[in-house]
């Protein structure tokens, strides 16, 4: 709660959180605001926005409601972004904590694995994984997480190396605490702040990666996403540009909101660190 209050005190954090809360409400209320299947045919094809009160944002080439797709696409984008970020952070935290706390050959072996994943760009890794495994939503989440976990792992290892020799960790060893207990109770709470700031970057990158995969036709065909809406509109970009522009703007606003929260978190954590010196 204290961190949230300090985050709201920063302009970036307040604006970013307000936008994210609005997007989250839209995502949660999508079935109420636009009940039914968003992929169903709602009217004639290519109705322009603001010309039909029943279809405020018009329809696409197949006559599907653009507003319904936008609302339900918010659910997909936020769900994929958050799930992929949680998976990437969990994997990176586990590997980085183990490497930094164990040291020696374990550290060396795990860091070589991290290096191997960092050689391949995250999007290309996700693209290859989805191409082989299929485009279901769990596969997309796993693919994005596999391309994003190496950065949290390196950051976690660096943080663990900086705190494992502190007096409070040494005291925990002296009183006979189990290494796993020391890692979870003594080290983990002190290395979480930088990871929280990094998580915003991972969420934003995950949302963009999911949109790119859907744009290429590698997303879940049974779910509406902003990337698939942009791809649908590219075929009629000259005559009906709104089909790509509207979901594109939604994607831009979401990513900016996540980055603003990340910037606010970074500033809050830096101010908190300075105040403790």
The whole-number pLDDT of residue 9 equals: 81
Mean pLDDT of 178-196: 79
The whole-number pLDDT of residue 4 equals: 67
What are the tokens at 214?
A: 């859907």
Q: Between residues 205 and 274, which one has the greater pLDDT? A: 205
Dist. CA 53–CA 237, nearest whole Å: 23
Number of domains observed in the structure of the chain: 1
CATH assignment at residue 208? 1.10.3720.10
The whole-number pLDDT of residue 66 equals: 94
Confidence of residue 100 (pLDDT cuts 50, 70, 90): confident
Mean pLDDT of 193-212: 88
pLDDT at 183 over 60: yes
pLDDT at 176 over 80: no
- Measured N-to-C along each axis, helices 188-215 and 226-233 cross at an angle, to the nearest 10 degrees, of 30
The whole-number pLDDT of residue 168 equals: 77
Burial class (CB in 10 A: 0-12, 13-18, 19+), 187: buried
The H-assigned helical ranges of 149-241 are 150-163, 167-174, 179-182, 188-215, 226-233
For 212-254, the pLDDT digits (tens) are 999 988 888 888 899 999 998 888 888 899 999 999 999 999 9
Owning domain of residue 164: 2-275
pLDDT at 136 over 80: yes
For 149-170, the pLDDT digits (tens) are 999 999 999 988 888 777 777 7
The whole-number pLDDT of residue 245 equals: 93
Contacts of residue 97, Cβ cutoff 8 Å, sequence gap at least 6: 156, 157, 160, 183, 187, 188
> Which of helix, strand or coil describes residue 59?
strand
> Which of helix, strand or coil describes residue 41?
strand
pLDDT at 274 over 60: no
Dist. CA 246–CA 256, nearest whole Å: 16
pLDDT at 273 over 80: no
For 12-43, the pLDDT digits (tens) are 888 999 999 999 999 999 999 988 889 899 88
* Mean pLDDT, all residues of the chain: 87
């Amino acid at each position: 709660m204290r961190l949230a209050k300090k985050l709201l005190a920063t302009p970036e954090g307040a604006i970013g959180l307000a936008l994210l809360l609005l997007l989250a409400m839209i995502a949660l209320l999508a079935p109420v605001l636009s009940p039914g299947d968003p992929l169903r045919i709602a009217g004639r094809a290519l109705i322009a926005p603001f010309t039909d009160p029943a279809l405020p944002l018009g329809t696409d080439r197949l006559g599907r409601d653009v507003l319904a797709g936008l609302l339900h696409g918010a659910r997909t984008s936020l769900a994929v972004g958050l799930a992929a970020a949680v998976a990437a952070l969990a994997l990176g935290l586990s590997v980085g904590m183990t490497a930094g706390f164990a040291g020696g050959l374990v550290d060396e072996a795990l860091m070589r694995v991290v290096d191997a994943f960092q050689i391949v760009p995250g999007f290309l890794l996700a693209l290859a994984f989805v191409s082989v495994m299929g485009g279901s939503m769990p596969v997309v989440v796993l693919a994005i997480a596999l391309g994003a976990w190496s950065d949290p792992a390196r950051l976690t290892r660096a943080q663990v190396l900086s705190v494992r020799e502190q007096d409070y960790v040494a005291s925990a060893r002296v009183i006979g605490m189990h290494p796993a207990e020391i890692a979870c109770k003594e080290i983990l709470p002190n290395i979480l702040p930088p990871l929280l700031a990094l998580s915003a970057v991972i969420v934003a990158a995950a949302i963009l990666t999911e949109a790119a995969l859907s744009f290429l036709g590698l997303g879940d065909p049974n779910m509406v996403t902003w990337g698939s809406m942009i791809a649908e509109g590219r075929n009629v970009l000259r005559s009906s540009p709104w089909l790509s522009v509207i979901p594109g703007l939604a994607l831009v606003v979401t990513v900016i909101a996540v980055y603003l929260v990340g910037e606010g978190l970074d500033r809050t954590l830096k101010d908190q660190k300075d105040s403790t010196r």
